[in-house]
Amino acid sequence: MTSIAKPPVKHPSSRTNALGLTLRDYEGAMSTLCAGCGHDSVTAALVQAAWELALEPHRAAKMSGIGCSSKTTAYFMKQSHGFNSVHGRMPSVTSGAAAANRGLTYIGISGDGDSLSIGLGQLSHAIRRNVNMLYVLENNGVYGLTKGQFSASADIGSTSKKGEANEQAPIDPVLLALTLGATFVARSFSGDKRQLVPILKAGIAHRGFALVDVISPCVSFNDHEGSTKSYAYTREHEVEAVHADFVPLQREITVPATDEVLRVVELHDGAQVRLRATAKDYDPTDRESAYAHVRACQSRHEIATGLLFVDEDGKDMHDHLRTVPTPLVDLPYEQLCPGKAAMEKLMERYR
């Protein structure tokens, strides 16, 4: 929350992207979240990622549900489409929108409450369908809007602001996504944009469902000693498995010579994600070892971050449904709704 809007003044050296837009052009309304909220940093990372990708604002749709996290969509890309859905129902609304118009870029923003409690079923099925979207889960382990009750992602032993420890086992969205067959699974931290921005860019470019679980501390109700989702705890326990560098198709690839082993994953549009394993022998294309790594980190009270798993060969929702390449919204009416005769002919096949 701030008392004034951000002054409309640009830095004298501010640059423009391929569309001629500056970073400031990707901003949205002023945030009314608490000062220091991790979600505002995620917003800044999204602004940065969208600007760097030269995403056309009018060709993007920002989708959200309910909660502090779901306010995020108001704070970036003010010229884009948006849908603020019922609590936990963002995945199905996005599935519908993506079915109707496959031409847009879908950016879904949710939180641990919206995704792992009321919306867990919705999330699971969006992963199964492999809806082509970026799904950012701003994860702070508490219900901030209702003053800090434990959420479904709170770790065992993590304490509330009043000192009470959580005793129920957490749902880890990363493990959930790996189990359900997600084709892009990453975890990052709102306080580490160097890691987060390339992951968001890769997630947007990925064809299929890209889950990015972002530890995004709640400064008001979960940033105390004893919390396992505070700024300090996350910094101390974060272990980056794989660092991703996003290389768009258009740009000449100039990477400084290095002894490190780089694994290059080509994305659907020809862009590349260059993965640099920082944990020994880590293979980000092997679902089993990704799962094992996250579990092992968990048992050591470490937080596995980075682009943990990516599979660019998976089929997305449109592949499964064998829909036409043209977005349904662009199909001529006669084709979309071919009339009674065509309907009867179809029905005949089921008699």
Partner 1 sequence: MPIPPEGGHAMASTDVSDPRYYHKVVDCQWACPAHTNVPGYLRLIALGRYDDSYLLNRESNVFPGILGRTCDRPCEPACRRGRVDEKPVAICRLKRVAADQRGDITDRLPKAPAVKNGKRVALVGAGPSSLTVANDLLPLGYDVTIFERNARPGGLMRINIPAFRLPAQVLDEECGYIIDMGAHMRYGTPVESLKALLADGYDAVYVGSGAPKGKELDLPGRWDAPAQVHIGIEWLANVHFGHVERIAPRVLIIGVGNTAMDCCRTAKRVGATDVKVIARRGRKHFKASPWELEDAEEEQVEIVENHAPKRFIVENGTLVGMEFERLEWSEGAGGRQTSTVLGTTVIPCDAVILAIGQDNAFPWIERDIGITFDAKWDMPIVDKVTHQSTRAGVFFGGDAAWGPENIIWAVAHGHAAAISIHQHCQGLPVDERPPVGMTLTSAKMGMHAWAYDNDYDTAGRAKMQHAELAARFAHVGVEVELGFTAEQTATEVQRCLNCDIQTHFTAPLCIECDACVDVCPTNCLTITTNSTPLDELRTRLSAPALNHAQDLYVSDALPQTRRIMVKDEDVCLHCGLCAERCPTAAWDMRVFDLKQPYAGTALAGALG
The pattern of x and - marking residues 240 through 279 that bind partner 1 according to CB under 8 A reads ----------------------------------------
Nearest distance from C-beta of residue 212 to partner 1, angstroms? 17
Nearest distance from C-beta of residue 302 to partner 1, angstroms? 17
Question: Of 25, 28, 44, 207, which one interacts with partner 1 (CB under 8 A)?
Answer: 44
* Whole-angstrom distance, CA of residue 49 vs CA of residue 153: 26
* Whole-angstrom distance, CA of residue 214 vs CA of residue 148: 18
For position 11 contacting partner 1 by CB under 8 A, the verdict is yes
For position 40 contacting partner 1 by CB under 8 A, the verdict is yes
Q: Which stretch binds partner 1 (CB under 8 A): 5-13, 99-107, 113-121, 200-208?
A: 5-13
The pattern of x and - marking residues 193 through 222 that bind partner 1 according to CB under 8 A reads x-----------------------x-x---
For position 3 contacting partner 1 by CB under 8 A, the verdict is yes
**Non-local CB neighbours of 250 within 8 Å, separated by 6+ positions:** 18
Nearest distance from C-beta of residue 234 to partner 1, angstroms? 10
* Whole-angstrom distance, CA of residue 273 vs CA of residue 57: 23
Contact assessment for residue 187 and residue 214, using Cβ atoms and an 8 Å cutoff: yes
* Whole-angstrom distance, CA of residue 112 vs CA of residue 213: 9
Q: How many CA atoms lie within 13 A of 130 on its CB side?
A: 21
Residue 251 buriedness (CB in 10 A; 0-12 / 13-18 / 19+)? exposed
Q: Is 315 helix (H, G, I), strand (E, B) or coil?
A: coil
Nearest to 181 by CA among 320, 301, 277: 320
Nearest distance from C-beta of residue 191 to partner 1, angstroms? 6
Question: Of 25, 26, 28, 38, which one interacts with partner 1 (CB under 8 A)?
Answer: 38
Pairing status of strand 105-111 against strand 133-139? parallel
Residue 263 buriedness (CB in 10 A; 0-12 / 13-18 / 19+)? middle
Nearest distance from C-beta of residue 55 to partner 1, angstroms? 19
For position 43 contacting partner 1 by CB under 8 A, the verdict is yes
Q: Which residue has the tokens 């779901």?
A: 70
Nearest distance from C-beta of residue 197 to partner 1, angstroms? 12
Question: Of 58, 147, 235, 268, which one interacts with partner 1 (CB under 8 A)?
Answer: 235
For position 7 contacting partner 1 by CB under 8 A, the verdict is yes
Binding site for partner 1 (CB under 8 A): 1-14, 24, 34-38, 40-41, 43-44, 190-191, 193, 217, 219, 223, 231-232, 235
